[in-house]
């Protein structure tokens, strides 16, 4: 009998994680996969473009939930996924990452006693003021399978009392997508020919702690504007950040602002950047594998391996002065680092192997 598996995505960083898992499930005759999109992200350039770039099939179920406060958004998704799961015999629910859709799907499944597999389990920033940290802790507590991208994830889970047998180190599925896409990106014409490789800084910014408060956002923008006096600075602007800039009346003079980019164009820009400034989780990992220096504008990271082994440096004080100093120390100095264990383009095979043994199947 085939196993019926619900895979849940909702927000931009979910799509590159689910793509290789879906592809691998298609290879296994025991698996019947159903793809559900919650609609947490809905703009074409935050969602549809990624489906096209990554070759993800149309979702089987689309909830169209949209934006709203955390409780409302999580509640909407929870209620609707509960309905989906109540109808039919589900063997497993697969969630990825740490967004509200991840948490809501986990809660819905756990209450119906359907096992959850969490891909990217065990990451901890230690900062419960971050909504993602709350999502991670609750998801990992309830998941039957905690699939970790790095060994620190295993240690974090064990320290929280998660039983050893639930924890499986699989490596980083997002890097499967990067490895698969990089060759195509390298072979295609550069999307922004005017940007000389190695000669520009790339910026992304969307964390509430950086963009929701006027004074903090202004400090960062002031630093970027000053950097842009010497070096080209390109900044694809997330919708949350665009709204904040607009509401605070902050405008760029020198920084080159862009609309959000699709996966391939973003990967091309990252691969050729001289340096990246970001507060994203995924970009800390991608820059490590690409060997591009990364300054992470946050107090803490749930991905310490990118600092210990990769090319990442935390900039916990986000004043104009501190950012400029960090930039001055990194720009033009290259990066040394190594690719962490299991970030090898084969993590999705190990993920699906873990599903296979959990569900009691053998590969045909």
Catalytic site positions: 206
> Residues 6 or more apart from 228 whose CB is under 8 A from it?
254, 255, 256
Q: With binding defined as CB under 6 A, does residue 301 bind ligand UD1?
A: no
Q: How far is the CB of 187 from ligand UD1 (least distance, A)?
A: 28
How far is CA 57 from its chain centroid?
19
CA distances in angstroms from 333 to 223, 274, 292, 326, listed in the order given: 19, 9, 10, 12
**Binding region for ligand UD1 (CB under 6 A) out of 23-31, 35-43, 49-57, 355-363:** 35-43
By CB neighbour count within 10 A (0-12 exposed, 13-18 middle, 19+ buried), where does 252 fall?
middle
Contact (CB, 8 A) for 309 and 289: no
Label the pairing between strands 116-119 and 275-278.
Answer: unpaired
Which one of the spans 10-18, 139-147, 167-175, 337-345 is the region binding ligand UD1 (CB under 6 A)? 10-18
Of residues 203 through 262, those in contact with ligand UD1 by CB under 6 A are 206, 238-240, 243
List, in order, residues 6 or more apart from 275 with CB less than 8 Å away: 201, 202, 292, 293, 294, 295, 327, 330, 331
Q: By CB under 6 A, is residue 142 in contact with ligand UD1?
A: no
Binding letters toward ligand UD1, positions 83-102, x by CB under 6 A:
---------------xxx--
CB-wise, 37 or 238, nearer to ligand UD1?
238
* Rg from Cα positions in the chain: 20
Please report whether residue 131 would count as binding ligand UD1 according to CB under 6 A: yes
Of 9, 12, 174, 318, the residue at the interface with ligand UD1 (CB under 6 A) is 12
* 40 sits near ligand UD1 (criterion: CB under 6 A): yes
CB 278, min distance to ligand UD1, A: 11
CB of 15 to ligand UD1, least distance (A): 10
Q: How many CB atoms lie within 10 A of CB 84?
A: 19
| From 38-46, 76-84, 151-159, 214-222, span contacting ligand UD1 (CB under 6 A) | 38-46
CA atoms 146, 66, 299, 228: torsion sign: positive
Size of the site for ligand UD1 (CB under 6 A): 19
Q: Does 124 bind ligand UD1 (CB under 6 A)?
A: no
Quote the CA–CA distance of 267 and 253 in Å, as a whole number: 25
**Rule CB under 6 A: is residue 13 a binding residue for ligand UD1?**
yes
Q: Which residues of this protein are in contact with ligand UD1, per CB under 6 A?
A: 11-13, 40-43, 46, 67, 98-100, 131-132, 206, 238-240, 243
């Amino acid at each position: 009998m085939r196993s019926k598996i619900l895979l849940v995505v909702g927000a931009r960083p979910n799509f590159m994680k689910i793509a290789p898992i879906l592809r691998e499930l298609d290879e296994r005759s025991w698996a019947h996969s159903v793809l559900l999109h919650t609609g947490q992200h809905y703009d074409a350039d935050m969602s549809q473009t990624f489906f096209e770039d990554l070759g993800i099939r149309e979702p089987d179920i689309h909830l169209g939930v949209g934006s709203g406060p955390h409780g409302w958004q999580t509640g909407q998704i929870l209620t609707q996924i509960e309905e989906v799961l109540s109808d039919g015999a589900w063997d497993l629910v697969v969630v990825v990452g740490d967004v509200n859709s991840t948490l809501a799907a986990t809660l819905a499944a756990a209450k119906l006693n359907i096992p959850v597999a969490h891909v990217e389990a065990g990451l901890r920033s230690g900062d419960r003021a971050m909504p993602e940290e709350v999502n991670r802790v609750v998801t990992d507590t309830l998941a039957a399978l905690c699939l970790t991208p790095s060994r620190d994830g295993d240690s974090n889970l064990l320290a929280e009392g998660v039983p050893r047998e639930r924890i499986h180190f699989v490596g980083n599925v997002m890097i499967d997508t990067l490895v698969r896409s990089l060759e195509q990106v390298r072979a295609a014409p550069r999307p922004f020919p005017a940007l000389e490789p190695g000669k520009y800084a790339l910026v992304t910014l969307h964390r509430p702690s950086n963009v929701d408060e006027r004074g903090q956002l202004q400090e960062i923008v002031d630093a970027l504007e000053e950097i842009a006096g010497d070096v080209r600075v390109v900044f694809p602007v997330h919708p949350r950040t665009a709204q904040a800039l607009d509401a605070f009346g902050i405008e760029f003079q020198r920084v080159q602002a862009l609309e959000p980019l699709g996966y391939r164009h973003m990967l091309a820009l990252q691969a050729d950047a001289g340096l990246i400034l970001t507060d994203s989780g995924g970009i800390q990992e991608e820059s490590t594998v690409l060997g591009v220096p990364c300054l992470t504008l946050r107090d803490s990271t749930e991905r310490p391996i990118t600092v210990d082994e990769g090319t990442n440096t935390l900039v916990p004080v986000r004043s104009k002065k501190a950012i400029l100093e960090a930039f001055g120390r990194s720009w033009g100095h290259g990066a040394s680092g190594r690719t962490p264990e299991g970030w090898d383009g084969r993590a999705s095979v190990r993920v699906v192997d873990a599903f296979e043994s959990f569900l009691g199947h053998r590969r045909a």
